[in-house]
Structure 1
Amino acid sequence: MKKIGGFRNPAAEKRYFAAYDRAMAECPEPRHVFDVETRHGSTRVYRYGGGGSPIALLPGLMATSACYAALLPALADRHAVYAIDTLGEAGRSVQRLPFKDIRDRVSALDDVFESLELSSVHLVGGSTGGWHAVNQAIHAPGRLASLGLLDATTVSAPFARKVFHYGLPAAVLDNERLWRRYVKWSAGEDVLGQPAAQLVLAGIRCYRARVPFQVVPSEAALRSIEVPTLALFGGRSVVHDSAAAAATLARLLPHADVEILPDAGHYLYLRPEDRDLIIERVLEWAGQAARAPE
C-alpha cells in the first residue's frame, strides 16, 4: 500500500464523529483514554476496570471500541480491559504512514502493547478483529497470554459470496436502502436503530480505508499458533460457513477450545442469552490461561 486512510471530506468527518460520540455514549466511562504513538500513527485506547490480567479488545471492521459496550461492564469487573480503535480504520486512531503488509499492522499493535507496558495479554477480537488477533498470534505472539475469537472472519474460512453480492452494490451506489438491506442480512435482523450499527455504517460511508486485503492465513501459519485459543462461532452467521470454519480451526489447532453457538448470528452477542454465555466463556478462558504454567 502507498496511501493512508482518511475521511472523504470535512462534512463526512463531522457526520462520522457525531455517530461516534452517540455510540461511545453507550459505553461505561473509561478510567483512562490513551492516544498511543506507533510507527504508523496514533492508536486510541480506552482503559476500563482495575486490576486483573489485561484483556485487549479488537473490534470488527469499522466497529471501533463502541461495539463492545454490552460486554465491558462484566469484563472490566474482573480485568483491566483495553478497548482499541483499529489503526487504519475509521475511529479516533489516526494513520500517518501506509501499511505495506499485514506484518505492518501487527507491528502497530505490538507498539501499542509495548507503549502501555502490557504483557500476558488476553487478546479478544470479533469478526475482522478476530482476524487481526490471529495475525498477532502468528507474527508477534510474545506479549500474548491467550486468544479469544468471536465469529472471526477469514481465519479458517473465506467470506461467503453473498457478502459481495449484498455489499458491493451498496458500496458502489452508496444507497441508504441497499445499506440497510446489507446490515439486516449480515446481522439477521434490522439493527440500524442501534448506535453501534449506525457507527459501522457511518465508517463505511465516510472513511476510505487503505489497508492490506483481508485474506485467510495459510494452514501452516495457523498451525504455528501456540497460545491458548478460544473460538466461538455463530451457528446462524451468514458472512461465512461457520461450521466449516469451526471444523477447520479445530483440526489445525487441536489445543483450541472451539464452540458453535447454534442460535447466534455473526453479531455474536446481539442476543442477551448469547452475550451472557460469551462473557462467561471469555472470563473462564482468561482465568484458565492466566493460571496455566509457562
Structure 2
Amino acid sequence: MEKIGSFRNPAAEKRYFAAYDRAMAECPEPGAVFDIRTHHGITRVYRHGDDGPPIVLLPGLMATSACYAALLPALAEQNTVYAIDTLGEAGGSVHKMPFEDIRDRASALDDVFDHLGLTGLHLVGGSTGGWHAVNQAIHFPGRLASIALLDPTTVSAPFSRKVFWYGLPAAVFDNERLWRRFVTWSAGEDILDQPAARLILTGIRCYRPRIPFQVCPSDEALRPLEVPALALFGGRSVVHDPATAAARLESLLPQADVEILPDAGHYLYLRPEDRDLVIDRVLKWVA
C-alpha cells in the first residue's frame, strides 16, 4: 500500500475536506458530479454547462477543480466543461492502484474520458495540469481535439532553482511564514489566505501523494505531436524562464500557437485583466 496516495490520518482528512468545501464554495454550482471508477481509482469530475464542445480542465499540483473557480462561468456559458480532481493527489478523487509510470497517469485519464463518452475534447491545463495535457497528447491523443496550456511547468523548461530555494525550507519546516514567503514569491502577491491557495497548502500538509516523478518530455516525445496546441506563458512567471519555455516549445512544435502574456505571472489568471485575456484566448481557440 506504500505506492497509494492517502491522507496522513483521519484527523488530517477531516481538516483537508473542511478546506476543500470552503474552496469549492467559490465555484459555481455544478450541473452534475461524477465519481468515476477505473483501474487506478475513483476520479471526481464536476460538469458545468450542457452545450457546446467539451472542455476538460486539469488543475495544477494539489490545486483540484477549485483553482478554476474564476474561469468556470465564462467557459461554461457556451461549452460543456468538465473539471477534474487529479487522481493520486489530494482532492475528491481516491487513489486505489499504483501508477507504474507517467503513461499510467495518461491511461487513467483516458479511462475517465471513456466512461464519460468524451471525444473531440479540448484539454485545458494550468501549471502541472499543462504537463498532464501534454502527457495525454503524447500517450493517448485519440480523444483530443486540442490542448491549451496555461504557463505549463516542466513541459518545455525545468523549474527554476528558486522554486527549490523557496519551496524546500517551507516544506521541510512546514512553517506558516515560510509558506507565505513562497506563495507570495511564486504568485507575485500574498494570496495564501484565499480559499483555493489555502487548500493547496492543506493538501501538502495532510496528504501523501504517491505519483511518478514529473519530468520534461524529451524532444523526441514532443516533436511528433499532432494535437493542435495553444500555449500561454506568464511573462512575469518565476517558477521557470517563460521566454526559454516559449521558445523551446515553438521550436519543437512550430504549428503551435504560443504567446507570452507580458504582465501575467505563473498564476496566469490571477489579475482580472489577465483573466479576461486567458478566457478570450481559450474560447477563441476552442471555437
- Indicate whether 1:139 and 2:139 are aligned: yes
Identity fraction in percent: 78
Asked if 2 retains the 8 angstrom alpha-carbon contact of 1:45 and 1:83, the reply is yes
Distance (whole Å) between structure 2 residues aligned to residue 183 and residue 8 of structure 1: 23
The root-mean-square deviation of aligned C-alpha atoms, in Å, is 0.9
* Pair 1:280-2:244 in alignment: no
Q: Does 1:179 align with 2:166?
A: no
User: Structure 2: any 5+ residue segments left out of the alignment?
Assistant: none
CA distance in 1, matches of 2:12, 2:262: 39
1:226 corresponds to? 226
Shift of 1:222: 0.7
Separation in structure 1 between the aligned mates of residue 251 and residue 225 of structure 2, nearest angstrom: 13
Deviation at 1:168, TM superposition (A): 0.8
CA distance in 2, matches of 1:49, 1:286: 15
2:262 paired residue number: 262
- Provide the residue aligned with 1:60 in structure 2: 60
Name the SS of the counterpart of 1:135 in structure 2.
Answer: helix
Instruction: Tell me the distance in 2 between the aligned counterparts of 1:2 and 1:176.
Output: 28
Q: 2:209 is matched with which residue? A: 209
Once residues 39 and 180 of structure 2 are traced to their aligned partners in structure 1, the CA distance between those partners, rounded to angstroms, is 37
Q: Which residue of 2 aligns with 1:291?
A: none
Aligned to 1:292: none
Shift of 1:286: 0.6
For 2:183 and 2:98, the matched residues in 1 are separated by 29
Q: Distance in 2 between matches of 1:147 and 1:28?
A: 24
**What TM-score results when the alignment is normalised by the length of structure 1?**
0.96
Cα distance in 1 for residues equivalent to 2:241 and 2:110: 30
Per-residue CA deviations over 1:67-86 (Å, capped at 9, x if unaligned) read 00000000000100000000
Q: What is the aligned partner in structure 2 of residue 105 from structure 1? A: 105
- Aligned pairs for 1:28-177 (under 5 A) are 28-177=28-177
Secondary structure at 1:35's aligned position in 2?
strand
1:255 CA displacement: 0.6
TM-score by length of 2: 0.99
- Structure 2: distance between partners of 1:99 and 1:5: 10
C-alpha distance in 1 between matches for 2:161 and 2:25: 35
Q: Which amino acid in structure 2 is aligned with residue 232 of structure 1?
A: L
Q: Distance in 2 between matches of 1:219 and 1:122?
A: 23
Conserved in 2, the CA contact under 8 Å of 1:2 and 1:100?
A: no
Matches within 5 A, 1:5-20: 5-20=5-20
Contact 1:236 1:266 in 2 (8 A): yes
Are 1:49 and 1:80, in contact at CA under 8 Å, matched by a contact in 2? yes
